[in-house]
Amino acid sequence: GYRNHNGKKIAHTTMSNLISNPKYKGYYVGNKVKVVDMFTKKQKFLPPEEWVMFKDETGEIVPAIVSEEIWDAANAVLKKRSEDVKARQGVCNHANLLTGKLWCTECGQPYYRRESEDKRGRKNSKWICSGKIKNGADSCRSFAIYESEIKPLLFEVFRDTAADADAMVEEYIRMYNELTQHGSLRKKIEQQNNIIDQANRKKNKLLQLAADDSITNADFK
């Protein structure tokens, strides 16, 4: 991209605001904002459809710095690019599929991608420990991983994991249904409470009898 007077890269929004501003093709533009609150003077930006625009034919109030044709062409490109960027969101860039996801188990550094070719000249990139790249081959015992080798492995892992996750969800739903079906869980709790009650009653009775000396320790032997 281009750089501003600070030498920093011009942000995409700045660039697109510049390109899409009709004043550069000599248009007066009004009604871009509207006061929505009379007391706080709070404003909101209006959509371009509501802007009031007219061409400054005199070229004195809003002098054009580009022709209308160039402006239109630039905006067509901008629109296309913005749509492309939006369409790419959430889609993994093929070349950087594994960037930031591979780490060296020997020295803990991230793996970097290096372009390489196999004997027949086909592209087969490899991933190398960045610690090794920075500090030399002797610094780390890790080895390079070829993309053509790791990709099928990863696909297999993802496929199996997805199947496992589905099976697990199914199993949990089955277990949950079993527990709640026809209030069977509640019934089981009631049954167990009854057994506890009965046991407590028996215990009390035995304690009573023991206190009355009606039964002695010998009875328990």
Binding residues vs Zn ion (CB under 5 A):
104, 106-107, 129, 131, 140, 142
Nearer of residues 59 and 108 to Zn ion, judged by Cβ: 108
Nearer of residues 62 and 104 to Zn ion, judged by Cβ: 104
User: At closest approach, how far in Å is the CB of 104 from Zn ion?
Assistant: 3
Helix (H) or strand (E) holding 114: strand 111-114
| 29, β-bridge pairs | 53
User: At closest approach, how far in Å is the CB of 43 from Zn ion?
Assistant: 55
Do 114 and 128 form a contact (C-beta atoms < 8 A)?
A: yes
User: At closest approach, how far in Å is the CB of 107 from Zn ion?
Assistant: 3
Distance CA 108, CA 102 (A): 10
Do 62 and 28 form a contact (C-beta atoms < 8 A)?
A: yes
| 43, β-bridge pairs | 35
3 state DSSP class of 105: coil
Nearer of residues 34 and 114 to Zn ion, judged by Cβ: 114
Nearer of residues 74 and 133 to Zn ion, judged by Cβ: 133
User: At closest approach, how far in Å is the CB of 117 from Zn ion?
Assistant: 24
Nearer of residues 137 and 195 to Zn ion, judged by Cβ: 137
User: At closest approach, how far in Å is the CB of 131 from Zn ion?
Assistant: 4
Q: Which of 112, 85, 108 is nearest to 98 (CA)?
A: 112
* Dihedral sign, Cα of residue 184, residue 186, residue 188, residue 194: negative
